[in-house]
């Protein structure tokens, strides 16, 4: 899989440009369903990645791209679930997440990528 960070709000995956948050589940790219977490925005100052969203836990490593300025909060419940499932949760700026995913073997790695702030 070829994953490239193009700048604030833009990535390209296998030649397709995305301008909205995405989830990568074993190489399949789908839109992130962040509306499920939107009601938590007031508590976090930003819509967080929460347990209310469908998160692809079927992996040994979940990479979370937290945005250009690392503003995506991750709820404690997501961190606890990762720990309980034995999934290594790796949060980092989205540009770095794209670097790690580019050319990676995605048989055991999934990702959630926040594209803006």
- Structure confidence by residue, pLDDT tens digits, 68-117: 999 999 999 999 999 999 999 999 999 999 999 999 989 999 999 999 99
Phi-psi region of 79 (alpha: psi -120 to 50; beta: other; left: phi over 0): alpha
Superfamily grouping for domain 3-113: MTH938-like (3.40.1230.10)
Question: In angstroms, how far is the first alpha carbon of the chain from the final one?
Answer: 24
Spans of all domains in the chain: 3-113
pTM above 0.85, yes or no: yes
Dihedrals phi, psi of 99, to nearest 5 degrees: -60, -45
- Predicted pLDDT of residue 91: 99
């Amino acid at each position: 899989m070829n994953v490239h960070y193009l700048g604030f709000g833009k990535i390209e995956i296998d030649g397709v440009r995305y301008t909205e948050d995405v989830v990568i589940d074993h190489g399949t790219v789908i839109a992130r369903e962040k509306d499920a977490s939107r009601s938590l925005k007031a508590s976090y100052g930003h819509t967080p990645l929460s347990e209310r969203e469908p998160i692809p836990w079927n992996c040994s490593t979940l990479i979370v791209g937290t945005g250009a300025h690392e503003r995506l909060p991750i709820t404690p419940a997501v961190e606890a679930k990762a720990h309980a499932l034995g999934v290594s949760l790796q949060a980092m700026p989205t540009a770095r997440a794209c670097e790690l995913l580019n050319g990676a073997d995605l048989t055991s790695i999934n990702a959630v990528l926040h594209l803006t702030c």
